[in-house]
Structure 1
Amino acid sequence: MFSRIKVLTLTAALAVAGVAGATSASSAENPYERGPAPTNSSIEASRGTFAVSQTTVSSLVTGFGGGTIYYPTSTSSGTFGAIAVAPGFTAYQSSMAWLGPRLASQGFVIFTIDTNTTSDQPASRGDQLLAALDYLTQQSSVRTRIDASRLGVMGHSMGGGGTLEAAKDRTSLKAAIPLTPWDTDKTWPEVRTPTLIFGADGDTIAPAGTHAEPFYNTLPSSLDRAYLRLNGATHFTPNSSNTTIAKYSISWLKRFIDNDTRYEQFLCPLPTASLTIEQYRGNCPHTS
């Protein structure tokens, strides 16, 4: 009986060690995982598991018009990927402010910026997004919290065009998410950054058929790319809290900035049409 108990105890101990070893191996394979394993509920929630703080950046900085940085309060998880977010034509950072705490609470540093002028065109907004990332990683008060090798860009309307411009100019970016983008340039074969483009079925300012969709179609076919056309939406849908935009943005950023394959399940197989998604197109499985 004693021997049997010893064997069972040893077996149980080895099983526990095996689980611990597998967990350690998983963490070692991807040191950028942040937060618990995701669920549909966790990525649809208005807040993730990280408490968030924020700090204001003066408009007197060089290269862009200042903004607000949202960041995880605790440093116990290590450094985080960072994303700069640009507003659209005539708009201010306040129009994108909802994304700040929502994305930061999932384990990112988010910088919603103002542009030098509200009439800046997409190419200028792209330059300003890159200037904002440089400020974040080199000068900001949270620079030590950021992994400068894991950066991305987002933007709305002309800021969405600026997102593509930034990705074209800096191919080292890990993720780009244009939201109902507008740009006079309709072709983007130069982009090398995994890109998720949101269009809207009711957009009359940057109609999806002449902006978001051709932008997606001209991205390299070998690129990790996706196109989500929102159902029952307008050009300005990205300016207020939206669960569909947040859910797939979080999944895209986690997958490509954090290389967190735990989020692949929300992107592949491709999401199907629903009350909020008119169509979703993309490549699966993802290659990077």
Structure 2
Amino acid sequence: MPKPTKTWRGKLALSALAISLAGGTLLGIAAAPGSAGETTSRQSAGTTANTLVDEQEYRRGPAPTAQSVIADRGPFAFRQESVPAGSGFAGGTVYYPTDTSQGTFGAIAFSPGFLENQSAVSWYGPRLASNGFVVVTINTNSGFDAPDQRADQLMAALEWLTTRSSVRTRVDPNRLAVAGHSMGGGGALSAVSENPELRAAISLTPWHTDNAWSEVTVPTLIVGAERDWIAPVRSHAEPFYQSLTGARERAYLEMNNANHFVTNRSNETIGRTVLAWAKRYVDNDSRYEQFLCPAPQAGGPIEEYRSSC
């Protein structure tokens, strides 16, 4: 089971962030062969070109298309249930596919940011659950919780999901990931730095006082925003990405002319990239590689894209 993280980083400069936030507004293609649900094996390259690792693929749902990866909903019917407070976090919502014929699903826990509640990340629940994931969006114990406290709560949410939730039998405890916005994005980085058994991290316009993450080995996606004045990319998202030298895979998507909250609402570019990252690294589904490598070109909504492709 996932182990809790240590809460020791990211406790500085909270008052400065609160002052800056006070001025803003807070939100309350050829596919690989195989049928839906098929489990296969392939050789996949790590960050070192000559390092090959045998990994299983967990294919859930039909082969993706350029249209399916930007759609608001995927092929799976899903349900959602409220999660009571306790178990190390302040409750939230769990979203899960109703289909039980294809085996278990990977799971992702999402944390909101400073002074936010789960509504800031709620749109990822239906988007990902309808594509074959179990998703829990959490409320943090306090809106003022530092990133490392949010990391602890993300791990607590995954532990609850896999051991005590009503949908625990639908979740593969070996295919877990973390994600979050702002301080929640910083929390996701902290969680994978302490828990290398996680399969992926998704860090959305992240904020953290620590900008060095070379210890992270987990495939990590960072989404930045060109006009983010709360967590400017030059001091947060970009150095976070550059420091991920130990990550098996990494990618950096910067949204053009966008602010800190661009990741808090449905967006085709972000939705496509997050879905492809989760499918590729939580499920190891190589059919989604085409949406990540070769790297998408800058232009339109994309200011910049870097990756370890």
Q: Judge same fold: TM > 0.5, yes or no.
A: yes
1:104 pairs with one of 119, 129, 135 = 129
Match of residue 284, structure 2, among 254, 259, 266? 259
1:14 is aligned to none
**Pair member with larger Rg:** 1
* Equivalent residue for 2:77, pick from 24, 33, 51: 51
Deviation of the 1:163 alpha carbon: 0.4
Look up the SS of the partner of 1:280 in the other structure.
strand
Q: Do the aligned partners of residues 31 and 181 (structure 1) sit closer, same or farther apart at CA in structure 2, a change above 3 Å counting? A: closer
* Partner SS for 1:47: coil
Higher relative contact order (CA 8 A, sep 6+): 2
Q: Which range is displaced more, 67-76 or 215-224?
A: 215-224
Equivalent position of 1:75 in the other structure: 100
Corresponding residue for residue 150 of structure 2: 125
- Please show how residues 1-288 of structure 1 align to structure 2 within 5 Å: 23=34, 27-29=39-41, 30=56, 32-59=58-85, 61-220=86-245, 223-284=248-309
Root-mean-square deviation (CA), in Å? 1.3
Distance 2:304 2:185 in 1: 19
1:199 deviation in Å? 0.3
User: Is the CA contact (8 Å cut-off) linking 2:108 and 2:135 kept in structure 1?
Assistant: yes
CA deviation string 1:105-136 (max 9, x = no partner): 01000100000001000010001000100000
- Provide the secondary structure at the position in 2 that maps to 1:154: strand
Partner deviation per Cα, 1:194-218 (whole Å, 9 max, x = no partner): 0000000010000011100000000
Contact 2:215 2:246 in 1 (8 A): no
User: How far apart are the structure 2 equivalents of 1:177 and 1:93?
Assistant: 16
Shift of residue 28 of structure 1? Answer: 3.7
Give the % identical residues: 57
Q: Which residue of 1 aligns with 2:8?
A: none
1:62 Cα deviation after fit: 2.4
- The count of aligned residue pairs is 261
Q: What is the deviation of 1:244?
A: 1.0
Give the superposition deviation at 1:240.
Answer: 1.0
- 1:222 shift after superposition: 5.7
CA spacing shift, 1:208–1:127, aligned 2, 3 Å: same
Conservation of the 8 A alpha-carbon contact between 2:227 and 2:259: yes
Q: Could you tell me which residue of structure 1 aligns to residue 27 of structure 2?
A: none
TM-score using structure 2 length: 0.82
Partners of 1:189 and 1:104 in 2: CA distance: 31
Compute the TM-score of the two structures, normalised by the length of structure 1.
Answer: 0.88
